[in-house]
Chains A and B, each alone.
Chain A
Amino acid sequence: MKFIKDLLFLTFLTGIIGMSNYIINPNRPNMGLAHDEITIEMLPKLPKPVMVVDARSSEEFESGHIKNAYNISESRFETQLSEFLDVWIPDSIIVVYCNPGSCNSSRNIANRLQNECGIRNVYVLKDDWKKWKN
């Protein structure tokens, strides 16, 4: 009986601490993201090195991209992938982006990097890449 009472007390204490943290703490998790999706705010917290992949077409890449980004578009995947693998750092975090909104290229490229090349630590940027550039 005493054990149950103590367990209830521990549960109560846990509840108070957990609820207070939920109310006070501004660092709330973003549930809208899949397990391999990240936002610009999360980028500084990623362990280094970070490699950035631009999944848009070569024309779009030429017209502007994140500094030091590598272009791997869906249409030229094989060629650009081999160029990328030449400079790829094995333990790096890879962040893939494309245009914000309805663009699925970043998701497709991230899936291909993981499934076809067996590369881990691949993330899809969900924010507008221009915010990162600026």
Chain B
Amino acid sequence: MEKLISYSNLILRLILACTFAYAAISKIIFPDEFFYSIRNYQITPDILSYIIAYFLPALEISSACLILMNKFFKVSIFCITSMLIIFIIAILSAWTRGLDINCGCFGSGSSEGYEMVILRDLILIVFCVILILINKKKLSKYT
């Protein structure tokens, strides 16, 4: 049982790390396209969209790297879960306002429907929750 938990821990961390690293890379290469994707949501002023276009992918890749390290598990899982919740809120906001936009999740090339994006983010949140439960003992020691 312990082995299974340990493997699940590793696999879930790898899934989250790979997903966030993959999402970050195209945005880091093309911050201009990501800026236009953020602006299409019509939530943030241009200057904030500009800052997000550079620093959100950086946060994604940093969290992706740190989640693989035990030492930084708590802070990285906190950031990843927060980002996923914010992404869902942004998508829901665009959806309810009737905007027909590209989510920009994996750069400008991604073109899934809103339902798929929300479903994917919810699945990733479930992974985060499982990871938190698996590492609960470690987390309580950590604080």
Contacts and interface: CB of A to CB of B under 8 A. Distances in A.
B29 interface: yes
Summarize B's interface: helix, strand, loop or mixed: helix
Contacts of A3: 74-75, 78, 142-143
4 smallest beta-carbon distances between A and B, as pairs:
A29-B35, A17-B58, A18-B58, A6-B75
B58 A27 contact: no
Contacts of A22: 31, 54
Nearest to A4: B75
Given A21-B54, A31-B50, A45-B33, A10 B66 contact: yes
Contacts of B59: 10, 14, 18
A67 interface: no
Contacts of A10: 59, 62-63, 66, 72, 75-76, 79
A27 B54 CA distance: 11
B61 A28 contact: no
Interface residues of A, number: 27
**Most chain-B CB neighbours within 10 Å: which of A9, A14, A120?**
A14
12 contacts: A3-B74, A3-B142, A6-B75, A17-B28, A22-B31, A22-B54, A28-B32, A29-B53, A31-B46, A35-B39, A35-B40, A120-B100
B8 interface: no
B62 to A, nearest CB: 4
Contacts of B46: 31
Given A14-B59, A31-B50, A47 B75 contact: no
B32 A18 contact: no
Given A29-B35, A29-B36, A31-B46, A21 B58 contact: yes
Contact of A29 (B50, B62, B111): B50
Contacts of A35: 36, 39-40, 42
B108 interface: yes
A3 B39 CA distance: 32
A134 interface: no
A28 to B, nearest CB: 6
B30 interface: yes
